[in-house]
Amino acid sequence: MRRSRSRVKQVWQVCLIFLLIALVLFPSSFETPLRLLSSLTVEVVQVPLNIAAFFNQKAMDVWSDVQGLIDLRTDNQKLREEVLRLNLEQNLLKEFEVAVDRYQKLFDFKQRCPYSTIVSEVIGRNPTNWYQSLVITKGEQDGIIPGLGVITPSGVVGRVFKVYRTFSIVQLILDRDSVVTGLVQRTRDEGIIQGSDNGEVIMKYLPPLSLLKTGDVVITSGLDDRFPKGMIVGTVKQIQNKEAGPFKSATLRPYADFSKLEEVIVLLDIVPSNEKSKTCFVLDAAVSETSERFSR
């Protein structure tokens, strides 16, 4: 049995060898059957080939998607970073714009102002709750001395209280120990502007027959040796008629926003240095407010 099988094998081997020799020696005679065979084979092989190609395509698509996802994640990360960077840049630009606006106002004010002034940054506030003061970046080396008036284009801020070489402490008009002489612009009544314990600005010692009313503009009277006449302080918020006392007093709403002070102007000298108008301090807002009231 085994022998017959080996014989069959040998016969097959011999046939195959003869076939190979014939193929090598007479290739043209095999061309037609080979073509037929190849077309048949292609038909058969095409099915799994197509299936394989289909799956391959799908796999490629999936891989491409995965690759895309990976790229997408990287792109997303890059875009997020870009958005953050742009946001930061935008914020910086906004801040820059606000700063430019502020500096422009200060510059305009300084241009119009006939007095010798110096602009200083506010870097801090009082370290206790007992006083109302600011820390500014100009000191002795910039020509600052105690008592000098401190203002903003919006109005009076206070006066220099302590001076060190590179910085100074400014006592705000909100401080209970601060005193500035004031004048009600409409009625021309004079009084003393002081701070109070609860952070309000009060105009004291007004004449008992004063006709001032809520909304009147209060300016500096010029009797003070550090503030020239006509600088805006605030408007009358409330009038106190102390029946027992000989004087009237009024609570003021200061023009300067003390919680948002970033730069201030120190008046180095209140003697006008040129022919510019002395009324440069009167704020546009205050002017329009007053003229509006008069027109009414």
Partner 1 sequence: MKFFVYTVIVLFVIPFQVTIIHSFPIGGRVPDVILVIVFLTGLWRGQIEATALGLVLGFLQDIFSGTMGWVNLMTKPLIGLSVGIFCQARISLTPWVISILLMITSFIYGLIVLLFLLASPSQIDFWSAVRGVIFPQTLYDVVFGMIIVFFAFKLFPSPSHKVWNL
Residue type, 116: S
Which H, E and C letters describe 25-68, residue by residue? HCHHHHHHHHHHHHHHHHHHHHHHHHHHHHHHHHHHHHHHHHHH
Among the listed residues 117, 120, 152, 171, the single contact to partner 1 using CB under 8 A: 171
The answer to whether residue 20 forms part of the interface with partner 1 (CB under 8 A) is no
When asked if residue 147 is in the footprint of partner 1 (CB under 8 A), the reply is no
137 near partner 1, rule: CB under 8 A: no
Residue 241 burial (C-beta neighbours within 10 Å; 0-12, 13-18, 19+): exposed
Q: Is 243 helix (H, G, I), strand (E, B) or coil?
A: coil
By the rule CB under 8 A, 210 interacts with partner 1: no
54 binds partner 1 (CB under 8 A): no
With CB under 8 A as the contact rule, the residue among 128, 274, 294, 296 that binds partner 1 is 128
Amino acid of residue 95: E
Binding of residue 126 to partner 1 (CB under 8 A): yes
Q: C-alpha distances in angstroms, 172 versus 78, 151, 205, 219, 251?
A: 49, 10, 20, 16, 16
Should residue 175 be labelled a site residue for partner 1 when binding is judged by CB under 8 A? yes
**Using the rule CB under 8 A, is 262 a contact of partner 1?**
no
Q: Does 145 bind partner 1 (CB under 8 A)?
A: no
Q: Which is nearer to partner 1, 103 or 164 (CB)?
A: 164
List contacts with partner 1 (CB under 8 A): 123-133, 135, 161-162, 164, 169-172, 175-177, 194, 197-199
